[in-house]
Chain A
């Protein structure tokens, strides 16, 4: 979980950086998008990324099922909020929300860009930005990234602990970094969607 999680974190950070270009310049984004679509290394990484997602999702679901079965009889009265955070208790739910979004996202962008007729557009930028003109698309997009933000609020620091990286000097820093990072991801992607919705 930790290895695939950190791998996905690297990916999503790069993805955000490229998407931010759409707010700066149309040409810059088209160029970056073209590079990602043609560079041979990136082509190979595409398959690694798909595998990373798949492993992460399958392991996550398997983990959740196994953990549920470790307590067949539930408590009549339980107060989990007294001792643990909401993000850490809702990983499978936020993960599933991200997954639903992922399917939608792949259909509308990845498939169109790679295999489709680009919805009739002649460049990547127009295809990407036009969809944000629809309010419900922007709303789904923002909600999905809030879910991912919550997922990462726990996931970022959890991945370090899972790998045994806990140290009195660095762990407080990692936790702060994770809290800032998840806000950057959620706010960054949301800002892009809202920016294009407003400008549409």
Chain B
């Protein structure tokens, strides 16, 4: 198929951006979206032009690097997939496709379609972990009984790959789905419960400092999340936060 691409280009972090139009021909419907962009970049390189910069790594939906806003939706029109898992058969011959980077104050553009998501890393560093003593006598996790339903919910929350589609989609650029998935994954398990009070307070404080917006429960994140992370996690984090703000010791 032949396509018209409208791609956001920005030369560097402080440069002014612009939309550029490109044509690609003979795209196979079996290609992934990123393979289609590879074809475009080969064309650009052959012409001596600067290729379009975009993030990617695993190309199988597990690393969370790929991050494109395609035709007005994070990771494109398909559901439950990342950009690298999006097939070109979701488009038609002659289509015009808009490709933009994630837009959020907390995700500044580095170049073209690449954004800096280290704000997520800083939120994780603020509390998204359990402190374990690795002195060699760590208890076998399987020795601790955990209700199956809790284990399942924790696992579902843990499938979040930190891609940031939730932020990109949200009309408020809120990071609540991501942060709540991380808070939930740990708060549901005995090992994580130990530090739950300060974890939620610190992670939310960091989230707000990074400049993400506030959740107004539109539910857009849940629809666009490639891993189907549920809004239940946001409610759980709201509960955790409420409880922690009322009971945390003065420090």
Binding site for B on A (CB under 8 A): 63, 66-67, 69-80, 82-85, 88-89, 91, 154, 157-158, 161-166, 168
Which chain A residues lie closer than 8 Å to B213 at the CB level? 66-67, 69-71
Q: Does B6 contact A (CB under 8 A)?
A: yes
* Chain A: minimal CB distance from B235 (Å): 3
| A-side contacts of B106, CB under 8 Å | 70
- Can you report 5 residue pairs joining A to B where beta carbons are below 8 Å apart? A76-B8, A77-B72, A82-B77, A82-B223, A161-B217
Establish whether residues A85 and B211, one from each chain, have CB atoms under 8 Å apart when the complex forms.
no
In the complex, besides A67-B174, A83-B73, A161-B235, 13 extra interface pairs with C-beta distance below 8 angstroms are A67-B171, A67-B172, A70-B211, A71-B173, A73-B109, A75-B100, A79-B72, A79-B73, A85-B219, A157-B217, A158-B217, A164-B237, A164-B238
Q: Which residues of A contact B212 (CB under 8 A)?
A: 70
The reply to whether A70 and B242 form a contact with Cβ atoms under 8 Å apart is no
Residues of chain B having any CB pair with chain A under 8 Å: 6, 8, 17, 19, 69, 71-73, 77, 98, 100, 103-106, 109, 169, 171-174, 211-220, 223-224, 231-232, 234-240, 242
Partner among A70, A72, A166 whose Cβ is within 8 Å of the Cβ of B232: A166
Residue of A nearest to B241 (CB): A164
Q: Are B172 and A70 neighbours in the complex by a CB distance under 8 Å? A: yes
Bound complex: CA of A166 vs CA of B231, how far in Å?
Answer: 8
| CB-CB under 8 A for A67 and B71, given A72-B105, A76-B19, A161-B235 | no
In the bound assembly, the distance between CA atoms of A163 and B238 in angstroms comes to 6
Q: Out of A63, A75, A80, A88, which one reaches B214, CB within 8 Å?
A: A63
Bound Cα distance A191, B246 (Å):
44
B248 to chain A, nearest CB (A): 16
Shortest beta-carbon distance, A169 to chain B, in Å?
Answer: 12
Is the beta-carbon distance between B104 and A70 smaller than 8 angstroms? yes
Partner of B216, one of A63, A76, A82, A164: A63
Q: 4 smallest A-B Cβ distances: which pairs?
A: A166-B235, A79-B72, A70-B213, A164-B239
Alpha-carbon distance between A70 and B107 when the two chains are bound, in angstroms: 10
- A91 vs B105: C-alpha distance when bound (angstroms): 22
The 8 Å CB contact of B171, one of A80, A157, A164, is: A80
Q: How far is the CB of B174 from chain A (nearest CB, A)?
A: 7
- Say yes or no: B220 contacts A83, CB within 8 Å: yes
Whole-angstrom distance between the alpha carbons of A79 and B77 in the complex?
Answer: 10
Shortest CB-to-CB span from B179 to chain A, Å, is 14
Q: Are B217 and A154 in contact (CB under 8 A)?
A: yes
Asked whether A82 and B174 contact (CB < 8 A) given A88-B216, A163-B242, the answer is no
